[in-house]
Structure 1
Amino acid sequence: MAADRYTGLAQRPEHVVQGEFRVTEHPDAVLTTVLGSCVAACMRDPALGIGGMNHFLLPGAQDQGRDAAGGDAQRFGAYAMELLVNALLQRGAQRGRLEVKLFGGARMLKGLTDVGAANAAFAEGYLRAEGLAHAGGSLRGDQARRVQYWPATGRARQILLPHQVADPFEAERERVRRPPPAPASAGELELF
């Protein structure tokens, strides 16, 4: 019965890791990532059914001693957002139609600088400054999360990972090695 949960869902998963972004117009694509303090922006032009996702580590700008031609610069929010927006525009998306869902920004380590809060604040501020429509999502908190995003429809699903998972990224690598079980309904968030 658990397999019924996935009936009719897109079945072309593409994983987006830290410092990467993907853009697709394939109707069956689902973009996935695992986030702790990092943030992912899920962005689309609903009129064209084209969209993408990025995954950034820090809110800073590319001019903070990093290589603007790629490399470490892609780990920074300012650069990652520009890459995603520009890639969508190059494929025909219109800036005024772009809608964005933001995920991540959790406080993963108590007692240290709250990088997750800084990432979340940066992402929200970026959308305001650029006049992009904030269509929802889930920022902050204290849990890692797995995010799935269907660019063709704008549907997004978040699955919170248990607190006892010491390394949520190792848990994700293990999940990729074997078929995923049906997620429990607790801790899930779906946006349409």
Structure 2
Amino acid sequence: MTFQREKLVNVIQGDYTISEDPEAVLTTVLGSCIAVCLSDPQRGIGGMNHFLLPNRDGAEGENVRYGAYAMELLINGLLKQGADRSRLQAKVFGGGKMIGSLQDIGNSNTKFARQFLADEGIPCLAESTGGTQARRIRFWPTTGKVKQLLVSSDAARVEPPKPVPAAPPVADDITLF
């Protein structure tokens, strides 16, 4: 049995990564943010972005944390490295409603990603968006394969430590001072 080594590459908020390394696995954790995984499996190249908000007008919008700019960087980066636009395939993840009392940023991000891909003529083969759970994504860019793990809201909760019962007194063996 042969094991293939994996090179995990974490794609943080407001970033994107492109790879044609068959050992690379792009990974991220999402709440209301969106990750778009694009691949050209025939060429064996793909990439992932991780954006926080759909877009912003003006020069400040030219930042990878905004979807419009992050999508342009990802697509153009793939094309520069030999991907064929007609073979690009997308998978979209994230867009959760993480804080119930606030505006639904996740829904806005999801709508943006869907519309952007439709406008660019890039088919979305899979999507897992919305809900109230965070997601951990693992993306193999050379094949387009993606695995998702839903992270329960209980996993994020930190329980306070339980008090440790006091040890019974020990005879004067050791004195600490």
TM-score range, shorter chain: 0.7 to 0.9
> Retained in 2: the 8 A contact 1:10–1:30?
no
Backbone CA RMSD of aligned residues: 1.8
> C-alpha distance in 2, partners of 1:51/1:118?
25
Which whole-Å CA distance do the structure 1 matches of 2:98 and 2:84 have between them? 36
Pairing of 1:87-98 with structure 2 (within 5 A): 87-98=77-88
Please state how far the C-alpha of 1:111 moved relative to its aligned partner: 1.6
User: TM-score, structure 2 length as denominator?
Assistant: 0.84
1:14/1:118 CA distance change after superposition, 3 Å: same
Please report how far the alpha carbon of residue 165 of structure 1 lies from its aligned counterpart in structure 2 after TM superposition.
Answer: 3.6
Question: Take 1:93 and 1:11, find their aligned partners in 2: how far apart are those partners?
Answer: 22
Change (3 A) 1:103 1:15: same
Structure 1 or 2: larger helix share? 1
1:139-192 deviation line (CA, Å, top 9, x unaligned): 11110010000011111001011112447xxxxxxxxxxxxxxxxxxxxxxxxx
1:33 aligns with 2:28: yes
Unaligned runs of 5+ in 2: 158-177
Structure 1 segments unaligned to the other structure (5+ residues): 1-6, 168-192
**Cα separation, 2, equivalents of 1:67 and 1:134:** 24
Report the counterpart of residue 112 of structure 1 in structure 2. 102
Matched residue SS, 1:108: coil
Matched, 1:133 2:123: yes
Q: Deviations over 1:79-110 (max 9, x none)?
A: 00000000000001111110000000000000
8 Å Cα contact 1:10-1:27 kept in structure 2: no
Matched, 1:53 2:82: no
Q: Secondary structure at the match of 1:30?
A: strand
The residue that corresponds to 2:71 in the other structure is 81
Percent identity, aligned pairs only, is: 49
- Deviation, 1:11, is 0.8
Matches within 5 A, 1:1-192: 8=3, 11-61=6-56, 63-64=57-58, 66=60, 68=62, 73-166=63-156
Q: C-alpha distance in 2, partners of 1:65/1:109?
A: 29
Instruction: Determine which structure has more spread, i.e. the larger CA radius of gyration.
Output: 2
Measure how far apart 1:133 and its partner are. 1.1
Equivalence for 1:173: none
Which amino acid in 2 is paired with 1:79? Answer: Y
Distance verdict in 2 for CA 1:132–1:10, change over 3 Å: farther
Task: Write the distance in 1 (CA, Å) between the matches of 2:146 and 2:5.
Answer: 12
CA distance in 1, matches of 2:10, 2:49: 10
Runs of 4+ off more than 6 Å: none
Which amino acid in structure 2 is aligned with residue 33 of structure 1? Answer: T
Deviation at 1:121, TM superposition (A): 0.6
